[in-house]
Amino acid sequence: MSRPRPAPVPSHLVRAAGALVWRFRDRQRPLVTGEKIQAEDIDVLLVHRPKYHDWSWPKGKSESQEPLAQAAVREVEEETGYAVRLWAPLTTQRYRLGTRQTKEVFYWVGTPLSDSTDTLTHDGPVPLRARRPVQHASSREIDEAQWLSPDQAHELLTRRGDRRLLQELLARAQNGTLVTSTLALLSNAATIPQDLWEGTPEALPLSRLGNYQALRISDVLSAFGIEAALTSPQASCTATLGPWVALSQGRVIKLAELSYEAITADASKAQQVVEKLVAQPHIPTVVCADHECLHSLVGPLEAATLAPQRDTSQQKILTYTFADFIVAHIAHTDSPEIIAREHHALRVKITPQE
């Protein structure tokens, strides 16, 4: 008897991103890190696609050079009208679309940044101010978006994988890991070559590519709801955060202990900055340092990271380069635990039109 032939290796991988957006039924109830939440206390946001006659989570394909986190918040707002921020990631869904095509969909937990679907008439919170406006999806693509109880959503969701995601969300709600603290570690964007610069190393400016990376970094910071920044005082780090600061008016604090000189001489003080953020609930915060020093800041995350989450990139990263972005999602239940850690590398290219 001949052996069955294996399925052909996909020649094209389609990447998409979305979010499971939830909110409290009591609209005045605050989000409290580590709080255990009952399913009957929340609603989730579903969309209906008339072309497929199905109910699903809002999602869509990423555009050229678009970071997946940015694609997730853009697609949610296009399909539902709600601008959201991302929390910890959920299980990635992977399935066959058709002949030699596989779709990979990255999902995060999401919450609305505003109760209103009209995000163009007000500045809103810090993350929303840094975000580009979007055009809502046509009714041919999405003809309905509804807030539903988890039980109602379970009944309506068409795909079994979507129902599993709902159960994952509810499990986090019940064990107190749905509302987390977000801590991002960011390396400076690309600089001009050192040998072309006559000034001091601390004043080394960004290159043309680096300025473009800084614009894209602002989009990712917005996607994760970043509201505050701690940064090295060196010019390349402050310039990397420049577009986000200008757009969002977010709070920025320069710390001498995050400078290249301080970290290379003795990294302990910079590590203490990260350790203090991990230890206590805090608003979404980014820490920016020189790309050659980022590994020293990632180190303190290891002790608080759950073993299965330590290498989400499936390989040990020993060095970091320009515009590397690490996001840690910290649950504060009995003790601080990093339940997920993401690595986003902004490998963007400048096109002639840009």
In whole angstroms, give the CA distance from residue 155 to residue 111.
22
**pLDDT surpasses 60 at 326:** yes
Percent of the chain with pLDDT over 90: 74
Q: What is the DSSP letter of 108?
A: E
pLDDT value at residue 334: 85
Percent of the chain with pLDDT over 70: 89
**pLDDT surpasses 50 at 4:** no
Q: Which residue has the higher pLDDT, 190 or 304?
A: 190
Whether pTM exceeds 0.85: yes
Q: Which residue has the higher pLDDT, 316 or 65?
A: 65
In whole angstroms, give the CA distance from residue 98 to residue 16.
16
Q: What is the DSSP string of 241-286?
A: THHHHHHH--EEEE-GGGSHHHHHH-THHHHHHHHHHHHS--S-EE
Tens-digit pLDDT profile for residues 25-53: 999 999 999 999 999 999 999 999 999 89
Tens-digit pLDDT profile for residues 158-214: 999 999 999 999 999 999 999 999 999 999 999 999 899 999 989 999 999 999 999
Q: Would 12-175 and 181-345 be classified into the same CATH topology?
A: no
pLDDT value at residue 99: 64
pLDDT band at 114 (very low <50, low <70, confident <90, very high): confident
One of 1.20.58.390, 3.40.50.300, 3.40.605.10, 3.40.50.1240 is the CATH number of 181-345, namely: 3.40.50.1240
Q: Alpha-carbon Rg of the chain, whole angstroms?
A: 21
pLDDT value at residue 308: 53
Q: Where are the domains of the chain?
A: 12-175, 181-345
Per-residue pLDDT, averaged over 208-227, amounts to 95
Tokens of 143: 């003809």
pLDDT value at residue 125: 85
Residue carrying the six token digits 């709080």: 35
Measured between its terminal Cα atoms, the distance across the chain in Å is 59
pLDDT value at residue 278: 96
Identify the weakest region by mean pLDDT among 68-82, 90-104, 314-328: 314-328
CA distances from 197 to 127, 140, 189, 202, 238 (A): 34, 54, 16, 11, 18
In whole angstroms, give the CA distance from residue 58 to residue 76.
5
CATH of the domain spanning 12-175:
3.90.79.10
Identify the weakest region by mean pLDDT among 158-162, 165-169, 264-268, 345-349: 345-349
Per-residue pLDDT, averaged over 239-245, amounts to 97
Q: Count H helices and E strands in the chain, helices first.
A: 10, 14
